[in-house]
């Protein structure tokens, strides 16, 4: 069954058209990640789904119901904010139980759900603390706990990890993935970080300038990007782009090759000058340029390459992507 259906959703703030004809379907139990650069409208889209903003036009359907006119608290959603947004005057227990109290749930249900959520998130020892007495990671778990206790149809996460440091981010990411399989709930997760998108998602929705660029599973998008934007956005290091002329091909096309698809080859078509080498042990990243084009290659194993060196890179033509002037994929 579908958990969420957006049909031709538009949103304008005055004259600024932020969301443009968004059509998305999310299945029940699916982990969907909305990814795109900052300012592309991800948070706005999430707020429209949550009911915190009204869509200017279009239809929002959660489960079977069209919810355009339903207030946020009645939509069966729960949201985790980037800034945690815990109630500063309530302790952890009350932060988590407030929504249930508003729903007039019986006391024992509230208690049981808070206990369940705090066990899942290892918050049992902190229930009587106030948000100001918690670390960033703990606050984030409380924010997640506040969402869990509601047993929502859809979880909404707005860049939940961006305020955490790198180590904590990785742990929390794994924890969120664990929660998803444990709760088997539909989740929508917004991020500008393609690594989070690739690692968490069942389905990625790539957004740019308020438009859906492509929808698909991480590997579908990685192996089969519909356009140059998606190709360049997913994958790290990012895909290399250079005009076809650089490798002696005709046509006004741009060629894209992923860094890991480049290999050292004496007869390779791409001659580059090395700028910098990152030796990671298992991998060697070569940052180089061919004319004005920056080229990054990710070579397996250890290589003795120094800055200033001239190299020839070759690639399998079947693993190269071709894009026209407008950035559309040419097959």
Partner 1 sequence: MNKARTNPLNTAAMHGALILYTLIALFPVFVILINSFKTRKAIFREPLAMPDADSFSLIGYQTVMKQGDFFLYFQNSMIVTVASLFFVLLFGAMAAFALSEYRFKGNMLMGLYLALGIMIPIRIGTVAILEMMVATGLVNSLWALILVYTAQGLPLAVFILSEFMRQVSDDLKNAGRIDGLSEYTIFFKLVLPLVRPAMATVAVFNMIPIWNDLWFPLILAPSEEVKTLTLGSQVFIGQFVTDWNAVLSALSMAILPVLALYVIFSRQLIRGITSGAVK
Ligand X SMILES: Nc1ncnc2c1ncn2[C@@H]1O[C@H](COP(=O)(O)OP(=O)(O)O)[C@@H](O)[C@H]1O
Report whether 10 contacts 21 (CB < 8 A): yes
Six-digit token string for 227: 């356009």
Report how far residue 152's alpha carbon sits from residue 158's, in angstroms, rounded to the nearest whole number.
16
Residue range at the interface with ligand X (CB under 6 A); choices 41-49, 104-112, 216-224, 270-278: 41-49
What CA–CA distances, in Å, run from 66 to 3, 24, 26? Answer: 12, 14, 15
| Residue 77 interaction partner, one of ligand X, Mg ion, partner 1, none, beta carbon < 5-8 Å per kind | partner 1
3-state SS, one letter per residue, for 158-174: ECCCCCCCHHHHHHHHH
Whether 41 and 207 have beta carbons less than 8 Å apart is answered as: yes
Select the span of 37-45, 72-80, 149-157, 278-286 touching Mg ion (CB under 5 A). Answer: 37-45
Q: Which parts of 149-268 fold into alpha helices (H)?
A: 166-183, 194-200, 218-223, 228-233
CB-wise, 47 or 169, nearer to partner 1? 47
Shortest CB 148 distance to ligand X, Å: 23
Which of 3, 4, 9, 41 lies at the binding interface for ligand X (CB under 6 A)?
A: 41
Which residue in the set 26, 42, 206, 288 belongs to the binding site for ligand X (CB under 6 A)?
42
Q: Which chain residues interact with partner 1 by CB under 8 A?
A: 47, 50, 52, 71-74, 77-79, 81-89, 98-99, 102-103, 130-132, 139, 146, 163
191 binds Mg ion (CB under 5 A): no
Q: How far, in Å, CA of 63 to CA of 252, rounded?
A: 47
CB of 6 to Mg ion, least distance (A): 18
- The footprint of ligand X (CB under 6 A) covers 13, 16, 18, 36, 38-44
């Amino acid at each position: 069954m579908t958990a969420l259906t957006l049909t031709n959703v538009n949103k304008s703030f005055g004259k600024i058209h932020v969301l443009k004809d968004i059509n998305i379907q999310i299945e029940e139990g699916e982990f969907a990640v909305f990814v795109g650069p900052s300012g592309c409208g991800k948070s706005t889209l999430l707020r429209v789904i949550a009911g915190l903003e009204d869509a200017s036009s279009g239809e929002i359907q959660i489960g079977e119901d069209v919810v355009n006119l339903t207030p946020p608290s009645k939509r069966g959603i729960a949201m985790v904010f980037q800034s945690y947004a815990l109630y500063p005057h309530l302790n952890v227990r009350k932060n988590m139980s407030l929504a249930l109290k508003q729903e007039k749930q019986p006391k024992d249900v509230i208690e049981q759900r808070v206990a369940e959520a705090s066990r899942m998130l290892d918050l049992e020892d902190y229930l009587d603390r106030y948000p100001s007495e918690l670390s960033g990671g703990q606050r984030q778990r409380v924010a997640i706990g506040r969402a869990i206790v509601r047993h929502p149809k859809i979880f909404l996460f707005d860049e939940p990890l961006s305020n955490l440091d790198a180590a904590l981010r990785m742990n929390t990411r794994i924890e969120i993935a664990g929660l998803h399989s444990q709760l088997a709930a539909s989740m929508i997760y917004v991020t500008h970080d393609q690594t989070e998108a690739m690692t968490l998602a069942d389905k990625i929705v790539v957004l740019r300038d308020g438009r859906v660029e492509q929808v698909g599973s991480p590997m579908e998008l990685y192996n089969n990007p519909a356009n140059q934007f998606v190709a360049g956005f997913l994958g790290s290091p990012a895909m290399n782009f250079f005009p076809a002329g650089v490798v002696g091909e005709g046509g006004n096309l741009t060629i894209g090759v992923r860094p890991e698809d480049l290999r050292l080859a004496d007869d390779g078509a791409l001659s580059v000058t090395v700028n910098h080498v990152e030796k990671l042990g298992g991998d060697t990243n070569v940052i180089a340029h061919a004319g004005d084009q920056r080229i990054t290659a990710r070579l397996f194993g250890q290589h003795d390459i120094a800055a200033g060196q001239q190299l020839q890179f070759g690639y399998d033509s079947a693993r190269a992507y071709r894009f026209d002037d407008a950035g559309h994929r040419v097959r």
